[in-house]
A and B are shown apart, each in its own frame.
Chain A
Amino acid sequence: MLDAILSGLGLVATLDLRLWEIVGLSLAVSLSAVALATLLGLPLGAAIAVGRFPGRQAVIVVLNALMGLPPVVVGLFVYLLLSRAGPLGELGLLFTPQAMVIAQTVLVLPIIAALARQSVEDAWREYEEQLRSLGVEGVRGAFTVLWDIRFSLLTAVLAGLGRASAEVGAVMIVGGNIDGVTRVMTTTIALETSKGDLPLALGLGMVLIAIVLALNTAAHLVKDAAQRRFG
């Protein structure tokens, strides 16, 4: 096993432009998806946290459940949407990086929204009375709290990023794993594994883990610095 890891890392270290293209695409797709999902998911979660409407509890339960959406199911669903035979076929988005971003956004959105909902709801308990006393209602209150707890929301965003960068089912189906176009780290690892080239697959796996680790470390440092700055 150790041999495989070492030879994998060795291969990766000597590897060419191709590898960095794949890494670059992986990051571009997952980061874009997380950015989109954050833009949509934070307000959504905050609105549900602060809002009072019929069926609210059911919405919360469903949102939490959607965190566990299987990537391959999301991929299939988006595939059927984007297929020429499907409703959005005209857009010609299938087998493009854009399709992958869409699929991953769908996958990650519930995670960010659900976690944001929980964080905002917890914080709202602290802020609600004072904000309402000042005359802040509903949506405005949600956004004030959202902004105030922005650094602890990083955790939700990182959870989303973890999910996006780790999944292979969705991007495989909607991207098609096309060499040079829609091949990302996870689909490459899957491909190399299925070709029996385990050392290379392992090496790539290590690179993927290293990248995600680096992103998490960066986020942690940001959070720390912010804590000291803003209290």
Chain B
Amino acid sequence: MGMMLKIFLALLLSTNVLAQQRFITVASTTSTEQSGLFKHLLPMFESKAGFQVRVVALGTGQSLDMGKRGDADVVFVHAKALEEKFVAEGYGVKRFEVMYNDFVLVGPKSDPAKVGGSKDIVAALQKIKAAQAPFASRGDKSGTHFAELQLWKMAGIDIAKDKGPWYRDTGSGMGPTLNAASGMNAYALTDRGTWLSFKNRGELVISVEGDQRLFNQYGVILVNPAKHPHVKKDKGQAFIDWIVSPEGQAAIASYKIGGEQLFFPNAKG
């Protein structure tokens, strides 16, 4: 019985090892996945590179955790401070900037906090708190959630202490949070990409956009093969090299929804 088990596991392993060669695993965020960016980008890369890119789309927090555990070859997220920590702690090789998009504040057409049309996100958040207008937060350790918390801090509000029943912590991804916001006629912070492809808007419209502080930078990092020897470093690096190359950057810029560009490439050099 023990012998059979060993043979079975050996077979499983060997067929898996063979299969493993043909793809890399990229841990990314729900915003990039749900915006449709990967559906646009990956076919271009895969036909050139000859191997598959499998994207597991979770939140930033979970993606970085996957990288730490060695369950991904590359992480592609948008939380600079966390990414730099990731590399500093030895889990990642090097952080490359790839592209940015921006966040927008969406809210009900009726605009109870009277923030519509403004370009000042900080002031808007202060008004929302003052008016106790419903606000839906992701609350899921994602890049977006992180950014939201930063903005509250900038507004001088200790949201953990000062939140009231008007602040709804959905603990979920961007889509479900927007669904909740739509259902509750609440304000919410979202990345433009997800918003553009979101179909269940209800009465929500963009309330605040264009503030420099809503700028959202994406970075790509190869998971450190020193920590996880099985990481497919050549293929992973090939993907990173492509995405920061002029070709990859052009591919990013060419992705549009309804004629509108979602992500702006800004890889250095």
Contacts and interface: CB of A to CB of B under 8 A. Distances in A.
A54 B69 CA distance: 41
A99 B39 CA distance: 24
Interface string A73-84: 000000000011
Contacts of A38: none
Interface in B154-187: 172-176, 178-179, 182
B197 A92 contact: no
A95 B63 CA distance: 13
Contact of A198 (B55, B176, B199, B228): B199
A13 B30 CA distance: 28
Interface string A54-83: 000000000000000000000000000001
A81 to B, nearest CB: 12
B54 interface: yes
Given A92-B230, A195-B197, A178 B179 contact: no
Sorting the interface of chain A by its residue count into under 10, 10 to 19, 20 to 34 or 35 or more gives 20 to 34
**Chief secondary structure at chain B's binding surface:** helix
Given A196-B175, A196-B201, A198-B200, A84 B230 contact: yes
B179 A84 contact: no
Interface in B127-178: 172-176, 178
Given A176-B56, A177-B56, A193-B179, A92 B199 contact: no
Contacts of A92: 13, 16-17, 20, 230
Interface in B171-217: 172-176, 178-179, 182, 194, 197-201
A176 B172 CA distance: 16
Contacts of B111: none
Given A176-B54, A198-B199, 14 more contacts: A84-B69, A84-B71, A85-B68, A85-B69, A91-B12, A92-B230, A178-B54, A194-B30, A194-B175, A195-B198, A196-B175, A196-B199, A196-B200, A196-B201
Interface of B: 9, 12-13, 16-17, 20, 25, 30, 34, 38-39, 52, 54-58, 68-71, 172-176, 178-179, 182, 194, 197-201, 228, 230
